[in-house]
Amino acid sequence: MARQIGDVIVDLQNISLRFGGVKALTDISFNVREHEIRSIIGPNGAGKSSMLNVINGVYHPQEGQIFFKGALRKKMEPHEAAEQGIARTFQNIALFKGMTVLDNIMTGRNLKMKCNFLQHALYWGAAQKEEIAHRIKVEEVIEFLEIQDIRKTPVGRLPYGLQKRVELARALAAEPHILLLDEPMAGMNVEEKQDMCRFILDVNDHYGTTIVLIEHDMGVVMDISDRVVVLDYGKKIGDGEPDEVKNNPDVIKAYLGTTH
Amino acid sequence: MLYREAGQFKATYAEDSQIFPIRQDRIGFWVLMLVFGVAVPLLTNEYWLKAILIPVLIFSLAAIGLNILTGYAGQLSLGSAAFMAVGAFAAYNFILRIEGMPFLVALVLAGVTAALVGILFGLPSLRIKGFYLAVATLAAQFFIVWALVKFPWFSNNSSSGVVTAQDVTILGYTFSTPEAKYVLTFLIVAFMALLAKNMVRSSTGRAWMAVRDMDVAAQVIGFRLMRTKLLAFAVSSFYCGVAGALYAYTYIGTVEPEGFNLDLSFKILFMIIIGGVGSIMGSFLGAAFIVLLPIFLDNFVPMIFGDALGAGFVSNFQLIVFGGLIIFFLIVEPHGLARLWQIAKEKLRLWPFPH
């Protein structure tokens, strides 16, 4: 592959997150480098999704620092994270059920659209041009993810696997620097998983998007990740390249298990 | 067989994103516009214009307003009538107190006033949702009507807040006949419906629907919840406000605050439930349905049963039918008449060879 793994783009230092008395994350540090595929694995309740929520500003950790592109990040709201180029998909599909596939993906481009509601109301000149310019970008994503045939279908009517793909499309439409994927392959059959893996690798290769991935399918994780971080009960128990992690005794004990 | 789109290819995205992408729909739309814009005022009598067509148009506009807020942005509101009252009284005061105020400017200012009040009462929506928000808008409903009665300034010191709308004059022409008032209302409502449709099919509307369908995801994508919700309140109240002003100026003529009571708010809510939540066309269908149904029942029930049932029964019968219909629509077709129309069109595309 031609892609070059670059410098550290997100650096998380000593992150701790509590909900009342429940410690979701305890003193976790790891980093993500530009253009890499970074996986987060661990048993249920290990704090993987919380980790993603910390990165894109849904949760604010009580302790620790986040450096984004080298700069210390202040407490930020999710829409600010989006403005800085962090997009994500959700574990439970978070599409806008009443809207068509096309409209859903168009929402991904909202931050790049500059017209106000009065211009939209007239739908003339600038507003229409803008709409069409973004439609062209969205159509590129639609083509990339091979969902041309369903673009006018309301997402509520689509099967699960396709909904996951539409959600990826919506995140991609924002042209993010970093893409956070929360279990993009959960509940899929083998073929759908293969497709999804191919799309993730293509995105990474074609757009150079940095990807942070949560996934339970170890075959997939070990195959496509550059580096893997392992969480257990909110603590980091392993970090490194797939082979390294695979042979880490703590990780085997907590999560991977052994064949008896 | 006439309703086919075979051979109609869209070569540009502009063509693909038209309001009516199918040619037959476009033709049908313009035919409707001509019928209601030209033929109807020429051919119908005063009763139809004054008692049916003008109110249908005005309630359609109010229903569009509520649909923007409830149907598109997902914020339940029971204050539509109060925002109509704000519009009506604001227009009255602007025309009364500012010398030479043009009617159309007063109409826009009335909408803007209602929008500002709407933003104020929309603030609770940032913290509360669903039924609780409905209760908060209920406060708007009662507070505004109370304030309009309480402070005589609003009604220029008339007793119990009754005001009589001034003449409607645009560029020296006074709209005094029902025909003229109808055409004016028709043009304003058609124009505003177009603006509403444009808003909901572009980024503004997508923001509203995103907040309606899943607010957390909307935020993560970059929508500002506060801005989006308050914009929905503002635009919705603007529409209700203009509808209220038209209600006073081209429909009733003499209004009092008590006329904009909770019953009217509910009536508008029923319009969007029956017409179609989240549909501009549904707002028109719902308004027409709710205005026409009582008239239909008034004439139809005595026709079948004669006078045996008595007048009291007929008016109660209306309520029974209303209640029944609302339950029916909520259970069977939550997207209302607009959805039924859409299903009919989908069937028609395949008719008569559905396989």
Range of the domain at A223: 1-85+177-186+209-260
Q: E strand or H helix at A237, and its extent?
A: strand A235-240
Query: What's residue A7's pLDDT?
Result: 87
Residues of A in contact with B198 (CB under 8 A): 120-123, 127
What is the rounded CA–CA span in Å between residue A175 and residue A54? Answer: 21
What is the rounded CA–CA span in Å between residue B301 and residue B303? Answer: 5
Q: What six digits make up the tokens of B272?
A: 């969007």
Residues of A in contact with B199 (CB under 8 A): 117, 120-121
Sequence-separated (6 or more) residues with CB below 8 Å from residue B30: none
Query: What's residue B307's pLDDT?
Result: 67
Residues of chain A that touch chain B, judged by Cβ-Cβ distance less than 8 Å:
56, 58, 77-79, 81-83, 87-88, 90, 94-99, 103, 106-108, 110-111, 113, 115, 117, 120-123, 127-128, 131-132, 135-136, 139, 170, 174
Looking at the structure, tell me whether residues A105 and A77 fall in a common domain: no
In-domain check, residue A196: no
Query: What's residue B345's pLDDT?
Result: 86
Sequence-separated (6 or more) residues with CB below 8 Å from residue B50: B178, B251
In-domain check, residue A131: yes
CA distances from B321 to A37, A172, B98, B314, B325 (A): 61, 50, 46, 10, 6
Q: Which tens digit of pLDDT belongs to each residue from B48-80?
A: 888 899 999 999 999 999 999 999 999 999 999
Residues of A in contact with B220 (CB under 8 A): 56, 58, 78-79, 81-82, 88, 94
Question: By the 8 A CB rule, do B26 and B20 touch?
Answer: yes
Looking at the structure, tell me whether residues A65 and A127 fall in a common domain: no
Q: What is the full DSSP assignment across A184-232?
A: TTTT--HHHHHHHHHHHHHHHHHT--EEEEE-S-HHHHHHH-SEEEEEE
Looking at the structure, tell me whether residues A80 and A182 fall in a common domain: yes
Strand A8-19: give its sheet, edge to edge: A22-33, A8-19, A63-68, A71-72
Would the CB atoms of A95 and B222 count as touching at under 8 Å? no
Instruction: List the single best residue of B68, B112, B206 to mutate versus A (max A Cβ within 10 A).
Output: B206
User: What is the DSSP code (8-state) at residue B50?
Assistant: I
Would the CB atoms of B217 and A96 count as touching at under 8 Å? yes
Domain residue limits, chain B: 44-260
Looking at the structure, tell me whether residues A151 and A112 fall in a common domain: yes
Q: E strand or H helix at B255, and its extent?
A: strand B254-255
Query: What's residue B1's pLDDT?
Result: 58
In-domain check, residue A199: no
Would the CB atoms of B17 and A127 count as touching at under 8 Å? no
What is the rounded CA–CA span in Å between residue B201 and residue A88? Answer: 25
In-domain check, residue A195: no
Query: What's residue B44's pLDDT?
Result: 86
Partner residue opposite B206 with nearest CB, options A79, A81, A107: A107
Query: What's residue B169's pLDDT?
Result: 84
What is the rounded CA–CA span in Å between residue B253 and residue A143? Answer: 57
Would the CB atoms of A132 and B14 count as touching at under 8 Å? yes
Looking at the structure, tell me whether residues A32 and A154 fall in a common domain: no
Residues of chain B that touch chain A, judged by Cβ-Cβ distance less than 8 Å:
12-14, 17, 195-196, 198-199, 201-207, 209-210, 212-214, 216-224, 231, 235, 278
Query: What's residue B315's pLDDT?
Result: 75
3-state helix, strand, coil in chain A (%, to 5): 40, 25, 35
Domain end residue (candidates: A175, A195, A228): A175
Domain end residue (candidates: A175, A201, A228): A175
How far A170 CA sits from the closest chain B CA (Å)? Answer: 9
In-domain check, residue A165: yes
- B90 φ/ψ sector (left φ>0, alpha ψ -120 to 50, else beta): alpha
Q: What six digits make up the tokens of A61?
A: 């950790």
How far A96 CA sits from the closest chain B CA (Å)? Answer: 5
Looking at the structure, tell me whether residues A81 and A96 fall in a common domain: no
Q: How many Cα neighbours within 13 Å face the side chain of B150? A: 6
**ipTM of predicted assembly, 2 dp:** 0.89
As averages over each run of 10 residues, the pLDDT of chain B (355 residues) reads: 76 84 89 91 87 94 96 93 95 91 94 96 88 90 92 84 86 87 94 95 94 90 92 96 95 90 93 92 94 84 71 78 86 88 86 75
- Count how many domains chain A has: 2
Looking at the structure, tell me whether residues A170 and A181 fall in a common domain: no
Looking at the structure, tell me whether residues A80 and A181 fall in a common domain: yes
Looking at the structure, tell me whether residues A135 and A71 fall in a common domain: no
- Paired sense of beta strands B163-164 and A235-240, if any: unpaired
Give the CA diameter of chain B.
69
Residues of A in contact with B223 (CB under 8 A): 79, 107, 110
Looking at the structure, tell me whether residues A78 and A115 fall in a common domain: no
Q: What is the full DSSP assignment across B308-335?
A: TT-HHHHHHHHHHHHHHHHHHHHHH-TT
Instruction: List the single best residue of A84, A100, A107 to mutate versus B (max B Cβ within 10 A).
Output: A107
Would the CB atoms of A174 and B221 count as touching at under 8 Å? yes
Domain end residue (candidates: A175, A196, A228): A175
Looking at the structure, tell me whether residues A182 and A250 fall in a common domain: yes
Query: What's residue B118's pLDDT?
Result: 95
In-domain check, residue A237: yes
Residues of chain A with pLDDT under 50: 1
Residues of A in contact with B216 (CB under 8 A): 58, 94
3-state secondary structure of A40: strand
In-domain check, residue A202: no
CA distances from B252 to A65, B84, B249 (A): 64, 13, 7
Query: What's residue A2's pLDDT?
Result: 55
Residues of B in contact with A121 (CB under 8 A): 195-196, 198-199, 204
Indicate the Cα dihedral angle B62, B66, B68, B72, nearest 10°.
-150
Looking at the structure, tell me whether residues A157 and A113 fall in a common domain: yes
Question: b/e string for B82-113 if b means 16 or more Cβ within 10 A?
Answer: bbbbbbbbbbbbbbeeeeebebeebbbbbbbb
In-domain check, residue A255: yes
Q: E strand or H helix at B254, and its extent?
A: strand B254-255
CATH number at residue A244: 3.40.50.300
Q: What is the full DSSP assignment across B261-275?
A: -HHHHHHHHHHHHHH
